[in-house]
């Protein structure tokens, strides 16, 4: 196959833009947590790139842990079913937790995750997401840190996949129509 970048028809955010925005978000996070406890929880698998770059943008110590959830089971998004495939290895009771994901679409994943994590008595739980689709939002999710709001379009790259491909693109964009056919 050709270089994956050539399947993008429209680049929404370049590598430089993404890295620049993540540096700004990291500075906000650093100021808000002011050297206190911070446990970042990445949502596998899409959040891997954001987690890696956001965490490395912090000039302070941070713990990282991961969860994997299946948002839609074998059914569709609208089923609203969320299952834990991989739980945290960390006891978050009394901890300051920052959940990191790369996109909030319907909000199902993070609204479920936040209520699940909240029941474990953390000191705080906040959300950092690189992208959010306000028009697609169907569940109440209030991220404290948002990179950009985007239109309700299917985007890939920087962790976002189409059929498990394109996650390793450095840019974020929309796919050319030929990819789908």
Which residues in 108-147 contact ligand PRP (CB under 6 A)? Answer: 108-109
Whether 45 contacts 167, CB under 8 Å: yes
CB nearer Mg ion, residue 46 or residue 122: 46
CB of 94 to ligand PRP, least distance (A): 26
- Does residue 37 interact with ligand PRP by CB under 6 A? no
Q: Of 8 and 114, which CB lies nearer to ligand PRP in the complex structure?
A: 114
Whole-number minimum distance, CB 81 to ligand PRP, in Å?
A: 11
Is 87 designated active site?
Answer: no
Instruction: List C-alpha distances in Å: 159 to 42, 99, 118, 163, 166.
Output: 12, 16, 26, 12, 8
Question: Which one of 17, 33, 37, 45 is in contact with ligand PRP (CB under 6 A)?
Answer: 45
Q: Is residue 32 close enough to count as binding ligand PRP by CB under 6 A?
A: no
Residue from 101, 125, 150, 172 touching ligand PRP (CB under 6 A): that is: 101
At 157, which helix (H) or strand (E)?
none
Q: Give me the DSSP letters along 80-140.
A: ---EEEE--SS--TT-EEEEEEEEESSSHHHHHHHHHHHTT--SEEEEEEEEE-GGG--S-
The reply to whether 30 sits near ligand PRP by the rule CB under 6 A is: no
DSSP codes joined into one string, 56-71? HT-SS--EEEEEEEES
Alpha carbons within 13 angstroms on the beta-carbon side of residue 96 total 10
46 binds Mg ion (CB under 5 A): yes
What is the set of active-site residues? 105
Binding site for ligand PRP (CB under 6 A): 43-46, 71, 101-109, 161
């Amino acid at each position: 196959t050709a270089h994956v970048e050539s399947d993008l028809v429209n680049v929404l955010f370049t590598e430089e833009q993404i890295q620049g925005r993540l540096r700004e978000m990291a500075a906000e996070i650093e100021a808000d947590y002011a050297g206190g406890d911070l446990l970042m929880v990445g949502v596998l698998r899409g959040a891997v790139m954001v987690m890696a770059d956001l965490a490395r943008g912090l000039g302070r110590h941070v713990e990282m842990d991961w969860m994997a959830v299946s948002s839609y089971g074998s059914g569709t998004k609208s089923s609203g079913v969320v299952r834990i495939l991989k739980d945290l290895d960390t006891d978050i009771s009394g901890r300051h937790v920052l959940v990191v994901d790369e996109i909030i679409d319907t909000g199902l994943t993070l609204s479920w995750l936040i209520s699940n994590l909240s029941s474990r008595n953390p000191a705080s739980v906040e959300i950092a997401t690189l992208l959010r689709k306000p028009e697609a939002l169907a569940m109440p999710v209030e991220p404290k840190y948002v990179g950009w709001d985007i239109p309700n379009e299917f985007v890939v790259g920087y962790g976002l996949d189409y059929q498990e491909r394109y996650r390793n693109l450095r840019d974020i964009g929309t796919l050319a129509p030929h990819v789908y056919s």
